[in-house]
Structure 1
Amino acid sequence: MKRTWFTLLILLTLHSMTQAQTPILNPPKAIVKPKELVTNGHTRTDNYYYLNERENPEVIKYLNAENTYLDQVLSPVKDLQTKLFDEMKGRIKQQDESVPYKEGNYYYYTRYVTGGEYPIYCRKKGSLQGTEEIMFDGNSLAKGHNYYQLGGYEVSDNDELAIFAEDTVSRRLYTLRIKNLKTGKIYPEVIKDTEAGSFAWATDNKTLFYIKKDPQTLLGYQVYRHVLDSPTAADVLVYEEKDNQFYMGLSRSKSKKYIEIGVDHNGVATEYRLLEASQPTGEFKVFLPREKGHEYDIVHYKDKFYVRTNWKAENFRLMEVPEGKTADRTTWKEVIAHRPDVYLANMDVFVNHLVLGERKAGLTNIRVINQKTKADEYLNFGEPAYVAGIGYNPDFNTNILRYSYSSLTTPSSTFDYNMDTKEKTLKKQQEILGGFDKNNYVSERTYATARDGVKIPVSLVYRKGTKKDGSAPLLQYSYGSYGYSTDPGFSSTRLSLLDRGFIFAIAHIRGGQEMGRRWYEDGKMLKKKNTFNDFVNVSEYLIKNKYTSTSKLFAMGGSAGGLLMGAVINQAPQLYRGVVAAVPFVDVVTTMLDESIPLTTGEFEEWGNPKNKEYYDYMLSYSPYDNVEKKAYPNLLVTTGLHDSQVQYWEPAKWVAKLRAMKTDSNQLLLHTNMEAGHGGASGRFQALKEIALEYAFMLNLVGDRQ
């Protein structure tokens, strides 16, 4: 008996020693292959330029080696990753259903089944008591694919046919198909390389329009007309955009009268072309020709159009113009004047009401105007930091407005608002399983002062009882580009950090549009460094006011927010314990010089064109990849996708390779490449949680929390 226990003890000891002494692999080192790049008479040397060779086995081997290294470094928190995944998955109501909306004769909704990764798209005719018709079962359609995305659908006027688009690579090149919703038949048409959601039926229920994309640049540039059951080779080109700096969209107006082609060059110009849906072989007519500096949106209403325009109005104003006179701006009549402290964000129109989405003091507001009496009101939300927005309202002949609402402590909620009686009805609130109680959490709104004196709004949330004495770990998040506002909405996954003592902070930095159009203009082009400076100054404010400390401050951003992360750690690496840079846009100059890369040309008005020396010098002064130095950097987790269509995988791969060669610290530097996904990561609702669990485990491990 004693010998048995002794033998067991020896075996356990040896096993423990073996586990403890398993050496961590040396970090992968990408081969150095110098390439000289000359622009405006200036020469840069890029040692890792070759990593853009996606089909090169050497490149794939390097990416796989980085993945292996990450797995080994984070092996001590493998159980924590699993626990976090199970925790986040456990908060999700697996068998769930969206709030139905009425369009035409049907009520449409999506639902999930237990264990299902993808939504099932359904409808019922006449009433919600009708028989369910399944239009598209995402779980069935995704079978056999590592990635699947249904890129929208459009039902014909007779309710019998549906255009739908699929992406099975995550390259955002969608294949368009047509389904008979009555018989279940899929028509023979297979139209490749199209734009998701940009298609429309004519009123004859047999003619449709779609956007064709360039498979190299991924820009939508052509609109075709297709007639059902005819060969796609016979499709008619009805419009081609010659300027590759413009993005294109296609849709049917809410009134159903028009098919609309919209082209937009962000911050520069807009142009719409219209065709009456009852005349599919007719000619698209220009609403108002594009003009540098003029952006506008349109909504058709009876015999006129409402126009949201920045014509002599930086924050936009609302105007109206009769049909047939749209190209003559002298016929435009002002409805809502420009306001320097209010940004007019969007609008919707109903038979008796006009609804506006506005921004003031960094918060979203919904304004309802009675078309007859002109009386108006603002909906009251009653929280210090929140996000509210006009929902999907396809029914024109109704007095019910659907809107969405959430806050840092309130789960996503869908409301119906009676615009006549002022009655507000909660139709659904996201159900958070696992004992969630919003009263256990606190949200705040505060302001940090940037180095140039500008006040930067900061939204925070934490669990009650969290001490603000500098001892709490804090995750600071932001984006700060393209005028995209990072609103203080709810996240059930975030609870896994809050419940472990983290504070979560959103820095509403310049480059977004939270504080109006000027907020965006002051964070782009030759003012882009304001974005980075704001983020750093918010970090300093949070440390000074003891929300956290440098030993427990983390930062996170993705895509253009990943550029933010790269610039921030070049500027002030000492402030952060760890940084998560998701699909980061970090090789700014090289990418913006390559017009064959998807989306480059459309970005010139965001960053500048580096062929111009003034922009080249400015971009070169902040481009994260070009400014890596021999110094200490914080712990860093970088993620990317091999098929990313927005930020090519080689940008983060090159950045990590250069950091490895130059950094002087012993902190973690990890690269995770999803070899089967693109910009948005995994496509399933549960698979995506695994990536979040990885990010959270990385941070929690650094503060010593492996529970």
Structure 2
Amino acid sequence: MSETSILPPVADRRPISRTHHGDTFQDAYEWLRAKEDPEVIAHLEAENAYTEARTAHLSDLRERLFQEVRSRVLETDLSVPTRRGDWWYYGRTAEGAQYGIQCRTAVVDDSWTPPVLEAGAPVPGEQVLLDANVEAEGHEFFSMGAFDLSDDGTRMLWSVDVEGSELYTVHVRDLTTGERFDEVIENTGQAFFTPDGRSIVYSTRDEAWRPDTLWLHRMGTPVAEDVKLFHEPDERFWLGAGISRSKKYLVIGLGSKITSEELLVDLADPTAAPQVVWPRRDGVEYSVDHAVVDGEDRLLILHNDGALDFELVSVAASDPQGPRRVLLPHTPGRRLLDVDCFRDFATVEYRTEGMPHAALLDYRTGALDVIEFDEPLYEAYFSGNAEWHAPFLRMGYTSFVTPSTVLDLELATGEKHVRKRTQVLGGYDPADYGQRRDWATAPDGTRVPVSLVWKKSFGEPGAAARPVHLYGYGSYEHSIDPGFSTMRLSMMDRGVIFAVAHVRGGGEMGRHWYEDGKGLNKRNTFTDFIAVGRHLVESGVTTPERMVAEGGSAGGLLMGAVANLAPELFAGILAGVPFVDALTSILDPSLPLTVVEWDEWGDPLHDAEVYAYMKSYSPYENIRSDGKYPRILAMTSLNDTRVLYVEPAKWVSALRHAGAEDVIMRCEMSAGHGGVSGRYNAWRERAFEIAWMLDVLGLAG
């Protein structure tokens, strides 16, 4: 039997009416939402069987791709140690093991230069803290959440999710004896120790999966006696918390998509009433960190009050609503992203012209010392700096062609010490690959940045039409920055050009870039992506028959919209955990996370204009009657709590009913929003996706 003769599963059409603002929509597949219904599970399993049958000819290619990534990865490896107190902490991986192992070794001679650890070699004085492979035994899915240690290094907590629901169970271990404490805290989000290690701060979620309550658990007491530190009743706001690097404050952050508020608790009494820094005001976002300048407690506040791309000010911690000293004034086009305080300076991350930058800020003068790098496209960021004061500052660096790199910036000299660059086996040479920035023009004249990456031996992009893998996202002000991918090499080594469309709705070009691609401007996200695709065709880089598009989650909405608007532009579309039934979800406040999303998409439940606008682009409501679609692969997970499996399940059924000829869906039955757990499982899942894309591009041989 040929693959084309295999018939897809057909979901029954059981129309129900949905009426809002005088408009009625007949939804034939809403019954697929009943996750516990055996008929629904049987349908999903039938979809999986159909997809496996339709892709059976790719099984050998999938295995080759899996082995290719294995051949490039140093499977037994160690991370660069990070100093915290009197210990160096690091992770290790072992060949054949799905998950990482957390370890430490004692600091010798008070050195701040991390010890050089050799893969596969024993580490003197190593103490294994947590072997996730042991913890994962007996579970089809396993995900680590929190991992924290007391400041004195005697206690460790970690949390796990074994379903994909993103609800975690906290465990605690005594590192002096190796014994577990009796404390087990279930259904948590965040979790971390107070600095003295005597208490655990953790968050819990409401029925809509929104983190809304913060608790304090004192070690050795029943969980039932835990103290409620704070509760956020407004369904638009998420709650998060952390300890300032100075160890003086517990910082509670509350945020919707467009408004935030932060509160401080002096850790001298963690149960004291939290103090508001700036009262919340609609449309004003800010974040706070603690610094000590000339002996005075100051708060550095990054905010957008009258400053679209944000401004940095300093206020007295004793009077945060008092006089402000401007440290970094608002500069249009310089989007300030993050400020992190240390004893003598602050780190600053910001973005200009679509590129991220990292710098050091002098508290007293406000001078910004930008850390320079040579590549035209790269990402540099601060990471792994646990201490309030140290002679080195840990940074991460990568580009589309440079593997992930860990370096230490020596503060006294400004010298960059490369501690480790991820080793890519098999003779990888960055010089064999090229990267550049192009610009496409959107229908309204806006210039849209496009990143291109390719293997040079196949020629420069545009010299001849080549296969292209075009990726996009475009929501939540999330930027797709330059980053290296080992698995991407399998496509580029077959001649595929990888391209990123930095469309509006993301944050690449500043806050206005986000504002112009959300709410009632959302269509710009879709037309930008189409403009990039057409630019690649018109500039001779590729042809529609040789271009495949990919996006996931909100980027899956982008894929669904593009499939409706310009199906002729792509040979195939890969939609990962796709938000393709957006209007149905955002209309229902009982669904997980819906209310908090209204600031991003608008509120179609109460606003007729938003309803009409969302209905005009939501992929499920706008499936073409002519059935003219490229090949489509939808990937989803049964236990995803962010984008429910039902969205792609309904979409795929509706596409087929409209006459789309080559639409398949794969539903992982033991996974969450991020897909399967375990690195080997993740490699196999990505090999499945890449094999499908190569088949679409005619490169599956």
Length-normalised TM-score, structure 1: 0.94
CA deviation after TM superposition for structure 1 residue 46, in Å: 0.5
1:300 alignment counterpart: 290
Task: Give the letter for the 2:205 counterpart.
Answer: K
Once the two structures are overlaid, the 10-residue window that deviates more, 295-304 or 536-545, is: 295-304
1:442 alignment counterpart: 434
2:692 alignment counterpart: 698
Q: How does 1:225-236 map to 2 (within 5 A)?
A: 225-236=216-227
1:28 alignment counterpart: 9
Aligned in 2, Cα 1:288/1:23: closer, same or farther, shift over 3 Å?
A: closer
2:162 alignment counterpart: 168
Aligned in 2, Cα 1:203/1:85: closer, same or farther, shift over 3 Å?
A: closer
Once the two structures are overlaid, the 10-residue window that deviates more, 300-309 or 469-478, is: 469-478
1:109 alignment counterpart: 90
CA deviation after TM superposition for structure 1 residue 352, in Å: 2.1
SS in 1 for 2:332: coil
* Structure 2 residue 653 is matched with structure 1 residue 657: yes
Find 1:645's aligned residue among 641, 647, 650.
Answer: 641
2:679 alignment counterpart: 685
The 8 Å contact of residues 327 and 366 in structure 2, kept in 1 or not, is answered as no
Q: How does 1:111-510 map to 2 (within 5 A)?
A: 111-127=92-108, 128=115, 131-195=125-189, 198-214=190-206, 216-267=207-258, 269-302=259-292, 303-326=297-320, 328=321, 330-371=322-363, 375-467=367-459, 468-510=462-504
SS in 2 for 1:188: strand
Aligned in 2, Cα 1:658/1:274: closer, same or farther, shift over 3 Å?
A: same
Q: Residues 562-582 of structure 1: CA distance to partner in whole angstroms, max 9, x if unpaired?
A: 000000010000000001000
CA deviation after TM superposition for structure 1 residue 203, in Å: 4.2
Aligned in 2, Cα 1:184/1:591: closer, same or farther, shift over 3 Å?
A: same
The 8 Å contact of residues 353 and 399 in structure 1, kept in 2 or not, is answered as no
Aligned in 2, Cα 1:199/1:115: closer, same or farther, shift over 3 Å?
A: same
Q: Residues 193-216 of structure 1: CA distance to partner in whole angstroms, max 9, x if unpaired?
A: 111xx23333443222211112x3
For 1:22 and 1:704, the matched residues in 2 are separated by 17
Q: Residues 352-406 of structure 1: CA distance to partner in whole angstroms, max 9, x if unpaired?
A: 2222111010001111234456554212212221111122211111242211111
CA deviation after TM superposition for structure 1 residue 347, in Å: 1.6
1:7 alignment counterpart: none
SS in 1 for 2:440: strand
Q: Residues 129-180 of structure 1: CA distance to partner in whole angstroms, max 9, x if unpaired?
A: 7621211111111111111111121212332112221101111011112221
The 8 Å contact of residues 379 and 398 in structure 2, kept in 1 or not, is answered as yes
SS in 1 for 2:312: strand
CA deviation after TM superposition for structure 1 residue 37, in Å: 0.7
Aligned in 2, Cα 1:222/1:22: closer, same or farther, shift over 3 Å?
A: closer
Q: How does 1:494-643 map to 2 (within 5 A)?
A: 494-611=488-605, 612-631=607-626, 632-643=628-639
For 2:369 and 2:362, the matched residues in 1 are separated by 9
Aligned in 2, Cα 1:453/1:21: closer, same or farther, shift over 3 Å?
A: closer
SS in 2 for 1:672: strand
The 8 Å contact of residues 176 and 190 in structure 1, kept in 2 or not, is answered as yes
Once the two structures are overlaid, the 10-residue window that deviates more, 378-387 or 465-474, is: 465-474
The 8 Å contact of residues 146 and 192 in structure 2, kept in 1 or not, is answered as no
CA deviation after TM superposition for structure 1 residue 471, in Å: 3.0
Q: Residues 57-109 of structure 1: CA distance to partner in whole angstroms, max 9, x if unpaired?
A: 11111111111111111111110011111111221110111111112222111
1:80 alignment counterpart: 61
The 8 Å contact of residues 483 and 520 in structure 1, kept in 2 or not, is answered as yes
Aligned in 2, Cα 1:143/1:456: closer, same or farther, shift over 3 Å?
A: same
Q: Residues 432-466 of structure 1: CA distance to partner in whole angstroms, max 9, x if unpaired?
A: 11221111111111101111111101010011132
The 8 Å contact of residues 308 and 317 in structure 1, kept in 2 or not, is answered as yes
For 1:418 and 1:23, the matched residues in 2 are separated by 62
2:118 alignment counterpart: none
Identity %: 39
Task: Give the letter for the 2:436 counterpart.
Answer: E
1:55 alignment counterpart: 36
Aligned in 2, Cα 1:281/1:22: closer, same or farther, shift over 3 Å?
A: closer
Instruction: Identify unmatched segments of 5+ residues in structure 1.
Output: 1-19
The 8 Å contact of residues 171 and 643 in structure 1, kept in 2 or not, is answered as yes
For 1:463 and 1:59, the matched residues in 2 are separated by 45
SS in 2 for 1:123: strand
Instruction: Identify unmatched segments of 5+ residues in structure 2.
Output: 109-114, 116-122
Length-normalised TM-score, structure 2: 0.95
Task: Give the letter for the 1:615 counterpart.
Answer: V
Q: For the aligned residues, what is the CA RMSD?
A: 1.5
CA deviation after TM superposition for structure 1 residue 43, in Å: 0.7
For 1:23 and 1:504, the matched residues in 2 are separated by 30
For 1:472 and 1:543, the matched residues in 2 are separated by 10
The 8 Å contact of residues 14 and 31 in structure 2, kept in 1 or not, is answered as yes
2:119 alignment counterpart: none
For 1:541 and 1:242, the matched residues in 2 are separated by 47
Task: Give the letter for the 1:658 counterpart.
Answer: A
The 8 Å contact of residues 402 and 417 in structure 1, kept in 2 or not, is answered as yes
For 1:223 and 1:480, the matched residues in 2 are separated by 31
* Structure 2 residue 655 is matched with structure 1 residue 674: no
Task: Give the letter for the 1:281 counterpart.
Answer: T
For 1:470 and 1:554, the matched residues in 2 are separated by 17
Once the two structures are overlaid, the 10-residue window that deviates more, 381-390 or 476-485, is: 381-390
Aligned in 2, Cα 1:233/1:33: closer, same or farther, shift over 3 Å?
A: same
For 1:677 and 1:203, the matched residues in 2 are separated by 34
For 1:669 and 1:417, the matched residues in 2 are separated by 50
